[in-house]
Chain A
Amino acid sequence: MLDASISYYRYAFLGCEFLTWVWFLISTSSINNILKKGDSLEIGKKIVLERKVNDSIEKITIKGKDADLEEGMVSLKKGAVVKEINLLYRSGEKEWFFTITGENLNLSNIKTPDVGFIETKNDVEGIAIEKIYLFNVICFLIDDLYKNFIKIRVSNKWKPVVSDIREWIKT
């Protein structure tokens, strides 16, 4: 593997392309081809886009539940990419909210479905196991989505996908 300090910056764009691709899949419902039957993934409460304008960086942040993403689409039209996105994942009756950052794939603001209350010291281990399981659901989801993305990204399937994303942005 390449030196981490070099590959971190050299390939940071892949994370932003990944998030843009995820938004495209969600918007066109193609995400259902990847997710387990009955599961869903939606844009959550925040999306951050960024584009370079000459030597400066233009940043657009859209916040709020059910926010109008029109500004985001305008920003994409101007050449921006998604830097950070908050997503809502549903599986059965359970819901997870989490934010993923493109540059480093860091996960933050992870809110899992409710777990039981800790009433005695003996409850801690059981609740911890439940929480680890719930966090892993999100980690596995991201790994799975990223695997799908990167397999396309390194192949000649990427070119038609880029055309589809361009069409989606234009419309």
Chain B
Amino acid sequence: MGLLSSSVSINRYYVEGKIEEPVLEVIKKGLIKYLFKETEDTPADKSVGWTSFNNHFRPDFEGSSFVLCDFFIFSLRIDKKSLSSKIIKKFLYFETLKRLTESGRSYLSSNEKTMVKEHVLSILLLRVPATPNIYDVVWNYENSIVSFFSNNKSANEEFETLFQKSFKNHLIKIFPYSEADILSGLSDKERDALSLLSLTKFME
């Protein structure tokens, strides 16, 4: 789900620390270093990387193309190839049969079975097109808040990992405790009280 969809989900993060100067250059380098790479010609089952918000299939981070007003805006692209277990089973059967015929034996060792499976998967993954998933990212550098436009758990995990690798800054997800601790302007005394809170029972 993207920023421009009619109905969206948002997961917000607080960026711990500041990016070193020159900020624009550092962010551009991070985006380019982990730019999305197509997987169609490789046996990889998944590819994750940054892409342009306004051109998901031909990313370009030259100049300040990822800057929009006060925000950095780009997208996370996760392409996945999926294979049905039935297809794998069928190709595994024929490949095993071929090896047994060639060797004249009646069984394959455990190592050989693993190798056959890896071989079958790599051949099949070369044939299967990857399904692209795009998740938009809006980074308000001034208030250190990043909005990730999806609540999908695995997409959020990929995002957190790639963000940290790209920009060397840790993300703190905004949830009840962190919202109170980071965004609510509590005094030290109030923060101490926060850490001691326990569940309220509205009705016994």
CB < 8 Å neighbour of A108 from B9, B179, B201: B9
Q: Does A146 contact B (CB under 8 A)?
A: yes
A81–B7 alpha-carbon span in the complex (Å):
26
Total contacting residues, chain A, CB less than 8 A: 53
Q: Does A106 contact B (CB under 8 A)?
A: yes
Q: Which residues of B contact A153 (CB under 8 A)?
A: 197
Interface of chain A residues 105 through 128 with chain B (CB within 8 A):
105-111, 118, 121, 124-125, 127-128
Q: Choose, from A2-10, A33-41, A54-62, A64-72, the stretch at the interface.
A: A2-10
A150 close to B138 (CB less than 8 A):
no
Q: Which residue of B lies closest to A81 (CB)?
A: B202
A145–B66 alpha-carbon span in the complex (Å):
32
Q: Which residues of A contact B186 (CB under 8 A)?
A: 150-151, 154
Q: With A18-B176, A106-B151 given, is the CB distance from A76 to B69 under 8 Å?
A: no
Q: Which residues of A contact B203 (CB under 8 A)?
A: 76-79, 166, 169
Q: With A17-B200, A104-B175, A146-B184 given, is the CB distance from A135 to B10 under 8 Å?
A: yes
Q: Which residues of A contact B53 (CB under 8 A)?
A: 128
**What per-residue 1/0 map shows which CB atoms of A4-44 lie under 8 Å from chain B?**
10011011111101101000000000000000000000000
Q: Which residues of A contact B71 (CB under 8 A)?
A: 132
Q: Does A147 contact B (CB under 8 A)?
A: yes
Q: In the complex, what's the smallest C-beta–C-beta distance from A116 to chain B, in angstroms?
A: 11
A110 close to B174 (CB less than 8 A):
no
A131 close to B3 (CB less than 8 A):
yes
Q: Which residues of B contact A124 (CB under 8 A)?
A: 4, 54
Q: Which residue of A lies closest to B196 (CB)?
A: A154
B4 close to A1 (CB less than 8 A):
no
Q: Does B114 contact A (CB under 8 A)?
A: no
A44–B88 alpha-carbon span in the complex (Å):
47
Q: Which residues of B contact A171 (CB under 8 A)?
A: none
Q: Which residues of A contact B199 (CB under 8 A)?
A: 13, 17
Q: Does B21 contact A (CB under 8 A)?
A: no
CB < 8 Å neighbour of B202 from A10, A76, A110, A129: A76
B147 close to A125 (CB less than 8 A):
no
Q: Which residue of A lies closest to B6 (CB)?
A: A111
**What per-residue 1/0 map shows which CB atoms of B1-37 lie under 8 Å from chain A?**
0011011111110000000000000000000000000
A129–B67 alpha-carbon span in the complex (Å):
11
Q: Does B120 contact A (CB under 8 A)?
A: no
A153–B194 alpha-carbon span in the complex (Å):
8
5 pairs, A vs B, C-beta closer than 8 Å: A11-B197, A78-B203, A107-B12, A139-B147, A154-B190
- Chain A to chain B: the 3 pairs with minimum beta-carbon distance, closest first: A154-B193, A11-B177, A15-B176
Interface, chain A (partner B; CB < 8 A): 1-2, 4, 7-8, 10-15, 17-18, 20, 76-79, 81, 102-111, 118, 121, 124-125, 127-129, 131-132, 135, 139, 143, 146-147, 150-151, 153-155, 158, 162, 165-166, 169
